[in-house]
Structure 1
Amino acid sequence: MTVRSPFADIDIPDVGLPEFLFSDLGEHTDRIALIDGPSGRTMTFGELAQGVDRFAAALGERGLGRGDVIAVFAPNTPYYPVVFHGALAAGVAVSTVNALYTPDELAFQLRDSGAKVLVTVSAFLDRARAALREEGLAVTEVVLLDASRDEASTPLPENALADLLTTTAERPSVALSGDDVAALPYSSGTTGRAKGVVLTHRNLVANLVQFAEMQRTTPESKILAVLPFFHIYGMTVMMNNGIYQRAAVVTMPKFDLAEFLRIVSEHRVDRIYIAPPIAVALAKHPMVEQYDIDCVDIVFSGAAALDADLGHKVAKRLNCKVFQGYGMTELSPVSHAMPEDRPDMDLSSIGVALPNIECKIVDPETGEESERGELWVKGPNVMREYLNNPEATADTLDADGYLHTGDVATVTDEGVFYIVDRVKELIKYKGYQVPPAELEALLLTNDSIADAAVIGVKDAEGEEIPKAFVVKQQGAEISEDDVMSFVADRIAPHKKVRVVEFIDQIPKSGSGKILRKDLRARENA
């Protein structure tokens, strides 16, 4: 049975995202669009639009246009949307890079995406320069969002964004359509190493108008952008949604509870989009009582499952409404959410499908539709493909346009969905994707390790963390701490192995596939 959204379909404009967001600022030109949380500096919508125009012109000056890619490797700042939308306005796609990445991980994404310009900040230059010394990259220039840099030898020219924005060149005239590629964030999908997710302008425009039917942000709203813009949740729901609704977006470069509470209180933020670990702090930390945050009206949780009891504690403590949604990078990202006018909806659910979306629940073993099974999603927000990876695309996106999410769901007669299990192997640590296969491959490069498998387990706070089951090489001396340090030295912090157990043999099928269900059963025994 196909389950459609209870909301009527809405028209999706067939335009490029910059035109959709900036073509008619009208009375909002002088309204504040962005606030730098730490410093309080502001940027109006008019200044944002001018910056977008100038960055597009600067890229055009360099000969970049449709078919080209730039990469952004930076924390949240008010200049992130300047660069993001300036590139799109020039016809250039943007590959957003996890700010925690190591040089090796950054180099992989630069190489795979074919990025020709790397936009970053001075604090990330050591990692950026190390990545750029690797072979096979197309990057020819580095652009710094801030002007600070040292005298270290650099593999490529480094220029300040402020200098690029002074260009007097004409902005390139690019007639964008909804089918043009806009963003290339990287996702592990349902399994394996990170893959470039090809999101079109139509995908991103569609998800903005779809989400607007569920959560009704207004120009009077203030949105806290503490979750990163490089993550599709931050990109769409915070950065682009704020611009679309003409609301002020308050940026934070990273999460720090005291700074988070200060910024919410000082700027009177009323809408907070979070991942569950922040909900834990809001519900339990005594520091919350030290700040006046009665301005908060809406807390919306995504990126990982929110425990309903925890959500209710946040609602009670902050005297606000708490909602939950569901999505994936491949869905631009939101496919399901609790409507703002339904605060009574079961908080353990993911709400209902957004407008223009239809879903199926399919038994992964039989391929038949069932009451409990893998959630399949179809709609204008579904990605076009995985970059350079037709096999992974075919595994995830079927011929009828349904994206197979890898999550097991049920649905009520009223169309309310629940995620009840997982088919995919992906671990979600604090909302970040951790692919077990990547960690296993890394572990096997250690000469003291004969075999390894990684699964997600729950810690004392109910957070999913990576646990490694390790088989030692005969005669090898290696401890749990040695294993964890080996991984931590070679990978982004959110991917670190946090628990290690030595075992005699990794359970595998006849074809050699790791039997993770056996490891989970061992864990729960």
Structure 2
Amino acid sequence: MPFRSPRPDVEIPDLTLYDLLFTSLSPEDLEKVAVVDGASGAETTYGALRDQVDAIAGALAARGVGVGDVVALHSPNSPAFVAVFHGILRAGATATTVNALATGHEVAVQLEDSGAGTLLTVSPLLSAAAEGAAAAGIPSDRLIVLDGAEGHDSLADLLASGAPAPEVSVDPSTHLAVLPFSSGTTGRPKGVMLTHRNLVANVAQSADLVGVGPDDRVLAVLPFFHIYGMTVLLDLALLQRATLVTMPRFDLPEFLRIVQDQRCTFVFIAPPIAVALAKHPLVDEFDLSAVTAVFSGAAPLDGEVGGAVARRLGCSVRQGYGMTEMSPVSQLIPAGRDDLPLSSVGITVPNMECMLQDPATREEIPVPSTGVSEPGELCCKGPNVMIGYLNNEQATSLTIDEDGWLHTGDIATVSAEGVVSLIDRLKELIKYKGYQVAPAELEATLLAHPQIADAAVVGGRDEAGEEIPKAFVVLQEGAELTEQDVMDFVAGRVAPYKKVRQVVMIDAIPKSSSGKILRRNLRGA
């Protein structure tokens, strides 16, 4: 039998994302600070933000943008991103958010695949944006530079246009709100079709469990263009009338300064930031006493690293799991449940059902009456699951089967109490002499060494051409470990078949903007 959340289902409003977030603002809400620019301290109230969203929607509509159009947003986190993103949706268009680190070629690919006819960017990213727009056939008058650039309209121009927000009527269950593109670890990135109902559902499913409230000041360093930042930080915080404090990119000293000076209470991170918070000496130079909760997502957080962060900051540390195709959250450790293992991803969110499937036989793995199940591929159903990949029926059918189960590609276990633990990606498991070895387990073991700052494990090859666990290791400053020291450390802590058999010392582990290890960049190195 499939398993569900131990929590009861929640009501999912039949609304667009804009209506959910902005039509219910009370007079008191209008005066509350919605967004703070972390660098400058500039504040935007909820009332001003709603006015900006409506003005941007009007300006876009006056330029012919409406239902059926796709608008690309290519920007790091900022108060402007918050207004423009929701302005695009308010105009009835679909937003495709572009990675701020994308090259001109990558921008062009996403513009072409999404069918975007307008691109909004910022001046530091203009070179890549202009190259991508030109290659995709977007004219210069449809390339808007939010902070201003010669020959292009700006955000100030949009806000000053005076055009009223249009009357828009769409079906939230079918109208595409966003088209984020999957990470593309294999092949060309795919456009994930998420409706307004998908996003509204996931905010409603997650809100009570995440625990952000109106008195929280939420640090927003994880990118809004990524689905984790878009749903769990941006829209959930706005729904709860919290205050968002934006950072355009992660820089540890600036991160610590903003948390200290802005008295941030709730900090969303990815595992690389957790490693820094657990181990970097600079952390002790800042007052982080306002922080009550740290929540990690986008990639697996090792339980020992999370525990070290909790002890050092004196706060709750939790994590969750999801994927772009689920808008993204399917499991998380709820607020107030610090008794759950930090190494787990917690319980299934309401309104979802899940099951584990044997990857080889496709037989369902039963939930045990006591203890923990056998591992299997996690499969999910729910109102937050995408309607499919854009213009790619084959990829859609490979991901969502004929019974409606979305196959995550992740191997997990579930306990009798419904607690889910991730083991590793199905495609990333290393086969050593017939045994399956999970890279994430070995990475957690490596990170337990006090002289190792970061680590990644991939499948390498020995002299006979057999696959073996191969570790890439970043040492703490001043550390003098040898490759053999590293292998000996791991060997003393894992079963013989899991031992690391090759070690490469490198300066940094390649990671995506959301914190996922880019293993493909390490294979063959």
Task: Output the TM-score relative to the length of structure 2.
Answer: 0.81
How far apart in 1 are the matches of 2:393 and 2:429? 20
How many angstroms does 1:401 deviate by? 2.1
Q: 1:115 to 1:298 in 2, by over 3 A?
A: same
Q: 1:312 to 1:175 in 2, by over 3 A?
A: same
Cα-to-partner distance string for 1:80-112 (whole Å, 9 max, x where unaligned) = 111111110111010001111111111000000
Instruction: Indicate the residue corresponding to 1:476 in structure 2.
Output: none
Match of 2:153, SS state, is: strand
How far apart in 2 are the matches of 1:335 and 1:305? 14
Matched, 1:266 2:261: yes
Instruction: Indicate the residue corresponding to 2:456 in structure 1.
Output: 464
How many angstroms does 1:170 deviate by? 2.1
Cα RMSD, aligned residues only? 2.6
Instruction: Report the AA paired with residue 115 of structure 1.
Output: A
How many angstroms does 1:158 deviate by? 1.7
Instruction: Indicate the residue corresponding to 1:119 in structure 2.
Output: 120
Instruction: Indicate the residue corresponding to 2:381 in structure 1.
Output: 378
Matched, 1:215 2:210: yes
2:185–2:520 Cα contact (<8 Å) kept: no
How many angstroms does 1:425 deviate by? 5.0
Q: 1:101 to 1:465 in 2, by over 3 A?
A: farther
Cα-to-partner distance string for 1:419-440 (whole Å, 9 max, x where unaligned) = 113213599xxxxxxxxxxxxx
2:428–2:458 Cα contact (<8 Å) kept: no
Instruction: Indicate the residue corresponding to 1:420 in structure 2.
Output: 423
Instruction: Indicate the residue corresponding to 1:475 in structure 2.
Output: none
Matched, 1:393 2:396: yes
Q: 1:315 to 1:356 in 2, by over 3 A?
A: same
Q: 1:278 to 1:271 in 2, by over 3 A?
A: same
Farther-moved stretch of structure 1 (167-176 vs 260-269): 167-176
How many angstroms does 1:190 deviate by? 7.6
Matches within 5 A, 1:27-66: 27-66=28-67
How far apart in 1 are the matches of 2:358 and 2:381? 17
How many angstroms does 1:132 deviate by? 2.2
How many angstroms does 1:128 deviate by? 1.2
Instruction: Indicate the residue corresponding to 1:133 in structure 2.
Output: 134
How far apart in 2 are the matches of 1:79 and 1:325? 28
Match of 1:313, SS state, is: helix
Instruction: Report the AA paired with residue 225 of structure 1.
Output: A
Matches within 5 A, 1:27-426: 27-135=28-136, 141-147=142-148, 149=149, 158-178=152-172, 179-188=174-183, 191-370=186-365, 371-424=374-427
How far apart in 2 are the matches of 1:63 and 1:498? 42
How far apart in 2 are the matches of 1:401 and 1:138? 41
1:279–1:314 Cα contact (<8 Å) kept: yes
Instruction: Report the AA paired with residue 375 of structure 2.
Output: R
Aligned residues: 451
Q: Give percent identity, aligned residues only.
A: 50
How far apart in 1 are the matches of 2:266 and 2:139? 40
How many angstroms does 1:465 deviate by? 6.7
How far apart in 2 are the matches of 1:411 and 1:192? 31
How far apart in 2 are the matches of 1:139 and 1:200? 29
Instruction: Indicate the residue corresponding to 2:16 in structure 1.
Output: 16
Instruction: Report the AA paired with residue 112 of structure 2.
Output: R
How far apart in 1 are the matches of 2:523 and 2:180? 31
How far apart in 1 are the matches of 2:261 and 2:221? 15
1:117–1:139 Cα contact (<8 Å) kept: no
How far apart in 1 are the matches of 2:25 and 2:136? 44
How far apart in 1 are the matches of 2:17 and 2:348? 23
Instruction: Indicate the residue corresponding to 1:440 in structure 2.
Output: none
Task: Output the TM-score relative to the length of structure 1.
Answer: 0.81
Match of 2:218, SS state, is: strand
How far apart in 1 are the matches of 2:310 and 2:139? 48
Match of 2:427, SS state, is: coil
